[in-house]
Amino acid sequence: MKTADIRRTYLDFFEKRGHTVVPSAPLVYNDPTLLFVNAGMVPFKPYFIGDEVAPFDRAVSSQKCVRTLDIEEVGKTTRHGTFFQMLGNFSFGDYFKEGAIEYAWELVTSPQDQGGFGFDGDRIWTTVLTDDDEAFAMWRAVGMPAEHIQRRGIKDNYWHMGVPGPGGPCSEIYIDRGPQYGPDGGPEADEDRFLEIWNLVFQTQDLIGVRSKTDFDVAGDLPKKNIDTGAGLERIAYLLQGKQNMYEIDEVWPVIERAAELAGKTYGKDHGDDVRLRVVGDHVRSGLMLMSDGVSPGNEARGYVLRRLLRRAIRAMRLLGVHDPVLSELLPISRDLMKVSWPDVATNWARISDVAYAEEDTFRRTLTAGTQIFDVAVRRTKESGQDTLSGTDAFQLHDTYGFPIDLTLEMAEEQGLTVDRKAFQSLMQEQRDRAKADARAKKGGMVSTDTYRELRAGGETAFTGYDELVTPSIVRGVVRDGRVVPEARPGETVEVVLAETPFYAESGGQDADLGIITGDGLHLDVLDVQRPVPGLVVHTVRVGEGELHTGQTVDARVDADHRFSSRQAHSATHLVHAALRELVGPSAVQAGSYNKPGYLRFDFNSTQALSKDLQQAIEGRTMEAIHDDLGVSTTMMNLDDAKQAGAMAMFGEKYPDRVRVVQMGSPWSLELCGGTHVSHTSQIGLVAMTGESSIGSGIRRVEFLVGSQAFDHFAAERQLVQGLADSLRTQPEQLADRVARMAEQLKAAEKEIAAYRAKELLATAGAFVDRAVRIGGVTLVAETVAEVAPADLRTLATEIRGRLGENPAVVALVSGTQKPAAVVATTAAAREAGLRAGDLIRVACAELGGKGGGKPDLAQGGGTDPAGAPRALAVVKAAVEKVGATR
């Protein structure tokens, strides 16, 4: 069964038994405890813990999941993968243990033609929690032999998500793969031979304080006894498809196959190469699915995970010897495999490919620059008589140039050097510690807020930035590493609390202000501004000159240019929102936003992509509002009054009873907002839409450049158009027609050339027939051909076969001096004699270092070793001789 068919079988089975089919949630899910959805039950968590009432009593789903804790193990085992699909059936206070066990046994053991998976019941083993006599008895009741049911402890048979939430004892289903995979004795003896495919969780408890798999606190019982099951689609697939591991299933293997072809490798010959190829297969698919759900490569959180996956795949191909770009070869294959079950990968392909290929280009540039630094470090190491590259050098390559440590190790080995990994790991840990400290300092949320609350108790920070950019103030507190300190010296980075400030703290999607704080002999550069607790503004500063201490009189000065650009971008965000609601519809409400000088992005609810015409209309409507020079006004109102007036609330914001309402051409744009804005929309200048994409199920994102950045964008496009027009000796307004005519001419020329080439090639068929040899009762044409395309080679083979008549005949052709291609064609009489093209092509391509396949009458393949062409033809001839001798 193909993977998509297994998925459909599972969903159909439970739908027929009263379960509501629930679509997969996006991998990026609204759960603050999770980076990605990591289990099929995640979307149902509110129902399990009683926060929401389930709209159904029983459900079934196929959920996209990503787990990255075991990323280093990917490719090394049969079980570890980053992206996987979790099949699950769920009961919310409906059926419990007995129903779950009966359903599982029926589905797993029923024949495939009756809607089951068709596993042999004698190969099935199960486990239950040590003292779960009830589950043990229920497995016995469906026919499971007692000796195939094993009791295991909490480590193996109690399930939770690894974070606070529902949990309970579980019962796992295993399939015996056979003695060739390990010793007998059930899952307790060997979990490679006995492979887990399904976990039935009997949810009964609400967990808190989850510290590890076995260390957690129980808050109490869940409101209802629930069933939460998770069956690994990929594991079931490789068992039903007769494969050795999850990387060889139909949704992954073609990517590995193409990667091996690009690298000139044969899968199965070298363990190290196989691991790298499996890393490529897994990570390309995982990256595809993450990008399909709106994740973009970055240096933090989800973006960093995606960046790491893509770069590990590129690095693995590099270690396999492929230095050219590879994602353009591999991602489309994965797209075509996955779109059967997940159409979004095709719908969002333009964005996915743009993001992925740009990331590969960036990484390739860093590799080029880093290689130069590596060469210098190697030369310095050798000149000093050492044979170990320092941990400092390895860390610089990783930190500055993005070199994975594995790549550095590989390159060092090629130079006869080792790497001081202990020192490297020490530096990496120091960096992680600094990053955690920086995050705590910036957001104030990862450390105790007691210090900030104490400072807040001294009074609220007055914000003066709506009316002025320079404010005299008093230093109320200096904070270092979460603690109040009396002073700070030059070179130190600390946090400063002022009595009043003109600096805007990051909020409402608007980035923080930049600027300086000065005093008598004092100069501070303001790097960031946050509100760690309500009412308190904290400035992260670097001390440039003088000593900073509490009680000091200072001047807080916002960077005027930075603020003006921020005002432009934030005001443009409001106009874009209004334009979307006008042109797309009132359902296009905000789902997130971010703006900074020169740039804005806006996320909104929509199930449909914006057409090119609609994108242009939204950009045009926004520019119209700018051109109309709408007045921008702010009013303080009661929250209820503001809502009654139709003011839109900004995504994710909490509002006090008194709110600030920003109006632009009211009621066209009327929003609750505490950000800074221009006084008239004409001050925004220009906007240029640069992107529209999906970032998840039902959420779209538009991106704009604003102000001078938009002007630079248009100027660059104008220069590009003029350059193309000059090159083609036409006017810019005629460029589109000129390019279209050239494309038509090129297409016609290519078609004419192809027809000529095919005619010329077919003209040689007679010469091949004249050189045919008789072997017993079989005619054989077995020759190498000049470099021709595989399609043309196939055409020639069928033409030769047609001229050989109805007698037993075999045609075997090999072409190519770099990556050889092969074709075998047989007549009906030859096939009756036992000569099948598919069988012959496989043995022929093995001599070429590749694989082949096809139908009995016509098959094709290729390889990587052109020197194997004589051997490939020889094995075909040997097969013909064996049959011919009997006729």
Q: Mind giving me the DSSP string for 239-303?
A: HHTT-SSGGGSTTTHHHHHHHHHHHT--TTS-HHHHHHHHHHHHHHHHHHHHHHTT----SSHHH
Supply the pLDDT for residue 652. Answer: 38
Q: What percent of the chain has pLDDT over 70?
A: 94
Supply the pLDDT for residue 446. Answer: 38
| pLDDT band at 437; cut points 50, 70, 90 | low
User: Nearest to residue 648, comparing CAs of 633, 634, 661, 657?
Assistant: 661
Supply the pLDDT for residue 667. Answer: 82
Please tell me what DSSP assigns to residue 823.
E
Residue 573, C-beta contacts closer than 8 angstroms, at least 6 positions apart: 509, 593, 595, 600, 602
| pLDDT band at 79; cut points 50, 70, 90 | low
Please tell me what DSSP assigns to residue 634.
E
Residue type, 789: A
Cβ 356 vs Cβ 304: under 8 Å: no
Residue 763 has pLDDT above 90, yes or no: no
How high is the mean pLDDT of the chain?
89
pLDDT tens digit sequence for 543-566? 999 999 999 999 999 999 999 999
In whole angstroms, what is the distance from residue 682 CA to residue 283 CA?
Answer: 47
Of the two residues 82 and 398, the one the predictor is more confident about is 82
In whole angstroms, what is the distance from residue 396 CA to residue 410 CA?
Answer: 16
Of the two residues 708 and 411, the one the predictor is more confident about is 708
Neighbours of 23 (CB within 10 A): 10
Residue 519, C-beta contacts closer than 8 angstroms, at least 6 positions apart: 546, 552, 553, 554, 555
Residue 234 has pLDDT above 60, yes or no: yes
Residue 730, C-beta contacts closer than 8 angstroms, at least 6 positions apart: 738
Residue 830 has pLDDT above 80, yes or no: yes
> Which range has the worst mean pLDDT, 292-296, 326-330, 593-597?
292-296
Across the range 641-670, mean pLDDT stands at 78
Supply the pLDDT for residue 435. Answer: 58
Domains of the chain from N-terminus onward: 3-243 (3.30.930.10), 253-428 (no CATH), 450-558 (2.40.30.130), 563-714 (3.30.980.10), 765-884 (3.10.310.40)
Residue 606, C-beta contacts closer than 8 angstroms, at least 6 positions apart: 584, 587, 588, 698, 699, 700
Supply the pLDDT for residue 30. Answer: 66
Task: Tell me if 271 is assigned to a ligand binding site.
Answer: no
Residue 875 has pLDDT above 50, yes or no: yes
| pLDDT band at 491; cut points 50, 70, 90 | very high
Residue 441 has pLDDT above 60, yes or no: no
Cβ 345 vs Cβ 292: under 8 Å: yes
| pLDDT band at 299; cut points 50, 70, 90 | low
Tokens of 773: 């040899």
> Which range has the worst mean pLDDT, 368-372, 411-415, 798-802?
368-372
Task: Tell me if 677 is assigned to a ligand binding site.
Answer: yes
Cβ 547 vs Cβ 538: under 8 Å: no
Residue 609 has pLDDT above 70, yes or no: yes
Tokens of 132: 């779960």
| pLDDT band at 184; cut points 50, 70, 90 | very high
Tokens of 392: 């400092």
Residue pointed to by tokens 């051997």: 871
Across the range 218-234, mean pLDDT stands at 91
| pLDDT band at 179; cut points 50, 70, 90 | very high
Supply the pLDDT for residue 445. Answer: 39
| pLDDT band at 636; cut points 50, 70, 90 | very high
Residue 810 has pLDDT above 60, yes or no: yes
In whole angstroms, what is the distance from residue 121 CA to residue 119 CA?
Answer: 6
Q: Is the dihedral of CA 585, 586, 590, 591 positive or negative?
A: negative
Q: Helix 327-338 to helix 271-292 angle, to the nearest 10 degrees?
A: 70
3-class secondary structure, 530: strand
Residue pointed to by tokens 């190290």: 272
> Which range has the worst mean pLDDT, 287-291, 482-486, 679-683, 817-821?
817-821
| pLDDT band at 247; cut points 50, 70, 90 | very high
| pLDDT band at 443; cut points 50, 70, 90 | very low
Parallel, antiparallel, or unpaired for β 599-605 and 590-596? antiparallel
Residue 452 has pLDDT above 50, yes or no: yes
Residue 579 has pLDDT above 90, yes or no: yes
| pLDDT band at 837; cut points 50, 70, 90 | very high
Across the range 343-372, mean pLDDT stands at 84
User: Nearest to residue 494, comparing CAs of 534, 523, 524?
Assistant: 524
Please tell me what DSSP assigns to residue 113.
G
Of the two residues 29 and 576, the one the predictor is more confident about is 576
Across the range 666-693, mean pLDDT stands at 93
Residue 20 has pLDDT above 60, yes or no: yes
> Which range has the worst mean pLDDT, 158-162, 513-517, 876-880?
158-162
pLDDT tens digit sequence for 260-282? 999 999 999 999 999 999 999 99
Please tell me what DSSP assigns to residue 611.
P
Residue 403 has pLDDT above 80, yes or no: no
Supply the pLDDT for residue 118. Answer: 96
Task: Tell me if 562 is assigned to a ligand binding site.
Answer: no
In whole angstroms, what is the distance from residue 331 CA to residue 329 CA?
Answer: 6
In whole angstroms, what is the distance from residue 779 CA to residue 860 CA?
Answer: 20
Across the range 610-620, mean pLDDT stands at 95
Residue 522 has pLDDT above 50, yes or no: yes
Supply the pLDDT for residue 684. Answer: 97
Please tell me what DSSP assigns to residue 465.
T
| pLDDT band at 322; cut points 50, 70, 90 | very high
Supply the pLDDT for residue 576. Answer: 96
Residue 711's alpha-carbon distances to 31, 140, 428, 469, 707, in angstroms, are 39, 74, 42, 26, 7
Residue 456, C-beta contacts closer than 8 angstroms, at least 6 positions apart: 533, 534, 535, 536
Question: First and final CA of the chain: distance in angstroms?
Answer: 40
Residue 864, C-beta contacts closer than 8 angstroms, at least 6 positions apart: 261, 264, 265, 266, 819, 820, 848, 849, 850
Supply the pLDDT for residue 606. Answer: 77
Residue 430 has pLDDT above 90, yes or no: no
Residue 482 has pLDDT above 90, yes or no: no
Looking at the chain, how many residues does it have? 887
Residue 274's alpha-carbon distances to 74, 278, 433, 863, in angstroms, are 11, 6, 35, 17
Supply the pLDDT for residue 769. Answer: 93
Q: Which range has highest mean pLDDT (140-154, 309-323, 389-403, 419-433)?
A: 140-154
Across the range 313-335, mean pLDDT stands at 94
Neighbours of 633 (CB within 10 A): 12
> Which range has the worst mean pLDDT, 354-368, 642-656, 862-876?
642-656
Residue 63 has pLDDT above 80, yes or no: yes
Residue pointed to by tokens 């503004």: 537
Residue 580 has pLDDT above 70, yes or no: yes
Task: Tell me if 574 is assigned to a ligand binding site.
Answer: yes
Residue 887 has pLDDT above 70, yes or no: no
Across the range 713-738, mean pLDDT stands at 91
Supply the pLDDT for residue 340. Answer: 94
